[in-house]
Amino acid sequence: MEPITTQYGQLIPQHTTDDLRKRDLFPVEYHRSGVVKSVPLEAQTPIDTPAGTVPAELVSFHENGNINRIFPLNGKLCGYWSQEDEAALAAPVTLNTPVGIVTARILSLGFFDNRSLRSITLWPEDTLTIASPVGMVETRIGVSFAPDGSIRSLEPARPTPIKTLAGEIMAYDPDAVGVNGDVNSLVFDHGGNVVRVATTLTRLTAISPDGRTTAFAPEQRESLCSESEQEVVPMVIGFGKDAVTVQTDPDGPVTRIPREGHVFFAEPFLPQLSNPFAGLRCSV
């Protein structure tokens, strides 16, 4: 198999399979311009990235030749090879990031086309403590950055008190899916202000100019554990320049409330006090 020349060195594409991890032979893909787009590698290969040297089994590229995403492992999960089997091969990697030097097991790293770090995606169950604009936050799934290195978003690993313009909100999204760390439930603007947050433990109240109050709280749905049990649905609150938005159900409408003339405040919402099983979730 002929190696592929990249600005990161010669890469040897995958050309063999096995009965466990690599049951399929994945092709090399190219952009329409002819520039290589993704390369599954025959063997794990150390690659020098702006964040440090990372072992790779799969690499994708922007059209300008810079790395888009790098995966240390690329095994195929199936009945013969589980996530636990793959995780046993994952070794911690030390990275130079906008939030300092971190060491973690990573599913992938994402980069902008200018080579700056876009996101870190962690292995399931692994966490990192991140110095965020609202303080130290234990983070799961991942963290993403803006091109200037400021934190764009992260996924709190547990309910975490976060300061917002409405007061303290317990940030946590139990429904967060860890496909990658590019998009997360706790989002910041360039000034470090919270612009989006998911919560199951906070109620938001809006007071209109005429004194009327409107309260928003996380809703409940039938639990995956049992038809007789309920679980809380994360409520998503957005803080925009001109309005606050609230969505109490991911399939429901978004309510928009102008910031001008309105007063917003947050307070604890504890549905489990009336239903002790409301906070339980099944692993699926």
pLDDT tens-digit map of 163-188? 999 999 999 999 998 778 999 999 99
| Nearest in space to 163 (alpha carbons), one of 123, 193, 206 | 193
Tell me what pLDDT residue 277 has: 41
More confident residue, 28 or 250: 28
Q: pLDDT band for position 77 (50/70/90)? A: confident
Q: How many Cβ atoms sit within 10 Å of the Cβ of residue 229?
A: 16
- What pLDDT is recorded for position 276? 39
pLDDT for 278 equals 42
What pTM does this model have?
0.90
Pick from 172, 151, 169, 149: which is nearest to 161 by CA?
Answer: 169
Q: What is the pLDDT of residue 272?
A: 57
Top pLDDT among 220 and 106 is at 106
Highest mean pLDDT of the ranges 15-19, 25-29, 201-205, 230-234: 201-205
56 confidence band (pLDDT: 50, 70, 90)? very high
Q: Which of 93-107, 162-176, 217-231 has the lowest mean pLDDT?
A: 217-231
248-259 residues labelled b (16+ CB within 10 A) or e (exposed):
beeeeeeeebee
Whole-angstrom CA distances from 266 to 35, 80, 197, 203, 269 are 51, 49, 12, 6, 9
pLDDT for 211: 94
Which tens digit of pLDDT belongs to each residue from 251-269? Answer: 889 999 999 999 999 999 9
Q: Model confidence at 26, in pLDDT bands (50, 70, 90)?
A: confident
242 contacts 204 by C-beta, under 8 angstroms: no
Q: Looking at residue 155, what is its pLDDT?
A: 97
Average pLDDT over residues 23-50: 93
**C-alpha distances in angstroms, 124 versus 110, 152, 166, 180, 183?**
17, 21, 32, 11, 16
Residue 218 has pLDDT above 80, yes or no: yes
Instruction: Say which DSSP state 3 is in.
Output: P
Q: Indicate the pLDDT class of residue 76, thresholds 50, 70 and 90.
A: confident
pLDDT (mean) for 118-143: 95
Q: What is the pLDDT of residue 1?
A: 76
